[in-house]
Every structure is written in C-alpha cells, then in structure tokens.
Amino acid sequence: MNSVSTKTIFQFVLLMLLQVAVFKQFTPDWKYAIYFHALIYPAFIMTLPFRLSKISIILLGFLFGIILDVFYSSPGVHASACVFTAFIRPTILSITKPQGEYDILHSPTISHYGFIWFATYSAIMLFAHLLFYFSVEAFTFVYIGQILLKTFASFIVSYFLIIIFQFIINPK
C-alpha cells in the first residue's frame, strides 16, 4: 500500500472516530444548542487526493456517509449529503483553482496550497454540504428559517474545527 492510500485510510478512520465518539456527543446545555452541530467529516471528502476518479470519490463519500448513518440512526441523510459533496467537489475545485494547475500527486490541503486557498475552498464545500444536509434532514422547505439557522450556526463550529484539524493533520 502506498503512502497516499495509507493516509486516506488513516483520515477515514480518524474522522469517523472523531465524528462518532466525540462530536456526536457534543451537546452544549443551553437554549440554542440545537442549532449548533459539529460536523467535521466533510473534511474527508474535501481532502481526498486529486488522482482519485470522480466515481471513486462518490463511492468513498457514500461509504463514509452510510457508516455515519448507522451511528446517527439517520437513514440516508449523511450518505446523501456526502454523495452531494463528492459530486460538487470537481466543480468547486475548478472554481477555486489557484494560479497554475493542481498537482495530481497532492491532495487539496493547507500544506500544499496554503491557508487562503484552503479557507476559501473548504468554506464553499462545507457550506454546500451543510445546506444540503439540513435540507434533507428537514425534508421540506417549510422550515427554511431553521435550515438556514442550523446551516450558519453549524458552519461556524464545523469550519473552525476543520481548519484546526488541517493544521494538526497536515503541519508544514
């Protein structure tokens, strides 16, 4: 197994454990806590290597999401959000392309493309993921106010955690 495969498997397991064992249990004891969800697992899809095919990324996203659905007892919600995130990834990467081209041997991380680029890329990806996730969870746009409130509140928490995770897992 090469180092890219090993690192991908390591991130899969680490993010799954963090999401299920730590952040699923994270429920602050205050009135508006229901709007804040710490969802760091989209970082797995965001940082998959460039050399993986679109189909491979979508299948990995589905696998990751379906495993989360088992732990969260949410049939298909995480899986659909992960597949959506994996599907839009190439489009977001083309929109946020740095000068020059992406290096096929790397992954889209802070250590390879810098903080500003990763901050922009991950913000777009995370916001799209969260908006889709909370829309599917509600399954109706009658609750658009709550969907947007959960999306923005969770974005703040999750984005901060993903950036910290990137600095820990990919130090320069």
What pLDDT digit, counting tens, does each position of 102-140 carry? 888 888 989 889 899 999 999 999 999 999 999 999 988
Give tens-digit pLDDT for 48-89: 999 999 999 999 999 999 999 999 999 999 999 999 999 999
Chain mean pLDDT for the chain:
89
Q: Please report the pLDDT score of residue 36 as a whole number.
A: 78
Measured from the Cβ of residue 81, the count of other Cβ atoms closer than 10 Å reads: 29
Domain ranges of the chain: 3-21+36-169
Q: Which residues, in sequence order, are CB contacts of 110 under 8 Å at separation 6+? A: 118, 163, 166, 167, 170, 172
Give the pair of three-digit tokens for residue 48. 């998959």
